[in-house]
């Protein structure tokens, strides 16, 4: 059996996603969110992150929100959180937003 490899490095976080839930990990390619309810696989969602809320280096913080459109790839119930984990892939992020997330992820590695 071949082991799946991630395209982008992923780091654990605890940040709030406006009107959706809390993110538990993030990468350049997507995010895992803990939500009250499952989201339909294939549905599109708008994500709004505030990098000033993230515990990263000062030069990587921004008071501006980073907006992404994403597609729900998977949803599963989490006994640990007693909520749903939702895997979301970013859709065509603006290059400057991708760069901000990449810098953030790299600051954790």
> Which domains, ranges and CATH numbers included, belong to the chain?
10-100 (2.40.10.220)
Token match 């549905």: residue? Answer: 43
For 3-49, how does the pLDDT look when each residue is reduced to its tens digit (9 = 90+)?
566 677 666 666 556 667 788 898 999 999 999 999 999 999 998 88
Work out the percent of the chain whose per-residue pLDDT is above 90.
37
Q: In 1-109, which ranges are E strands?
A: 10-17, 21-27, 30-35, 44-50, 65-78, 83-91
The mean pLDDT of the chain is 80
Is the pLDDT score of 2 beyond 60?
no
Q: How far apart are CA 87 and CA 72, in angstroms?
A: 6
pTM of the entire structure? Answer: 0.78
């Amino acid at each position: 059996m071949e082991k799946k490899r991630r395209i982008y490095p992923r780091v654990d976080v605890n940040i709030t996603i406006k009107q959706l839930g809390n993110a538990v990990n993030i990468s350049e390619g997507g995010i895992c969110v803990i939500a009250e309810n499952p989201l339909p696989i294939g549905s599109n969602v708008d994500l709004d992150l505030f990098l000033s809320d993230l515990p990263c280096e000062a030069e990587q913080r921004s008071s501006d929100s980073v907006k992404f459109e994403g597609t729900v790839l998977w949803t599963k119930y989490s006994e640990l959180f007693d909520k749903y984990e939702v895997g979301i892939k970013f859709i065509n992020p603006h290059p400057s937003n991708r760069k901000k997330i990449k810098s953030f992820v790299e600051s954790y590695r």
